[in-house]
Amino acid sequence: MVKVSDLTQPDRTMVMGIVNVTTDSFSDGGKWVELDAAVAHAHELIALGADMIDVGAESTRPGATRVVPELEAERAATLIKELSQAGIRTSVDTMRATTAQAAAEAGVDMINDVSGGLADENMYKVMADAAIPVCLMHWRTVQFGDAAGVADHGGDVVDDVHATLNRLVDNALDAGVEHDQIVLDPGLGFAKSAADNWALLQALPEFVAGEFPILVGASRKRFLTEIRAARGLDHGPIDADAATAAVTALSAQIGAWGVRVHEVAVSRDAVDVAAAWKKGKDFS
């Protein structure tokens, strides 16, 4: 049985590099769809300091159409098998139990479900049977698969995320997932306004002080591109890499378990800075 502690970095925040083998992810879609390119990109991210690779084979970007289940499972499992044989730790970013199952058979180390297990009635059982860590993310939506729009979080987004994550944890525990296999994620950008995202980041210390390790996924999201847009600068997803690294540094200082990022090098620098800062000593 693999536990979250097996993936935890002893003295610092864990850096998860993203490789999306999709045709339409909002920032890197289409680029890594060929297996060789995806494998090479994953190796590059590891060389730059990623601790594990999050493999996504279905985009959740607003307006995305869902990938045929068999194709998603095959794309994800093929890449995961290749990486796992090369000794690279992986997670699978999926809302489908069949894909999670295929990934588990291919040697994946963690199941990362942006629906928190709610999109597929078989997911919690697959998670429990796989006996590996799971990341349960907050996403309030009537229809999983499309992150468009801003959901009604009942007045206080922080309260809603706390309450919903608690419910997801209960679901997972009831299905047999172990307590020390659960990571939680507030789900930045998923049906949330920029104000919602900032409120959640402001509340990050509360989340980190809770019972479960916290993963932060801010990378290249629109609320970060808005910072440069407000100053009239270029503000494509890639232009948000510096803001992403700033979120990483602050999340690391607050004690987040991990960050999920596209541009690994700067975020790894940021977590190393936070670690050295905390210790008051260097890395030699």
Catalytic residues: 221, 260
Q: Is the CB of 266 or the CB of 276 nearer to ligand PMM? A: 266
Q: Is the CB of 106 or the CB of 114 nearer to ligand PMM? A: 114
Q: Is the CB of 27 or the CB of 90 nearer to ligand PMM? A: 27
By beta carbon distance, the residue nearest ligand PMM is: 217
Minimum distance, C-beta of residue 262 to ligand PMM, in the bound complex (Å)? 6
CB count within 10 Å of CB 264 equals 24
Q: Is the CB of 188 or the CB of 274 nearer to ligand PMM? A: 188
Backbone region of residue 145 per phi and psi (left: phi > 0; alpha: psi in -120 to 50; beta: other values): left
Backbone region of residue 60 per phi and psi (left: phi > 0; alpha: psi in -120 to 50; beta: other values): alpha
Minimum distance, C-beta of residue 93 to ligand PMM, in the bound complex (Å)? 5
Q: In the 8-state DSSP scheme, what is residue 6?
A: G
Minimum distance, C-beta of residue 29 to ligand PMM, in the bound complex (Å)? 8
Q: In the 8-state DSSP scheme, what is residue 44?
A: H
Minimum distance, C-beta of residue 61 to ligand PMM, in the bound complex (Å)? 6
CA distance 170 to 159: 17
Which spans of this chain sit near ligand PMM (rule: CB under 6 A)? 18, 20, 25-27, 56, 59-61, 93, 112, 114, 135, 137, 185, 187-188, 215, 217, 260
What SS3 state is found at 268? helix
Burial class (CB in 10 A: 0-12, 13-18, 19+), 63: exposed
Q: Is the CB of 25 or the CB of 99 nearer to ligand PMM? A: 25
Minimum distance, C-beta of residue 159 to ligand PMM, in the bound complex (Å)? 20
Q: What does the CA dihedral 195, 197, 201, 202 come to, rounded to 10 degrees?
A: 20
Write the CB contacts of 250 (distance below 8 Å, at least 6 apart in sequence).
Answer: 201, 204
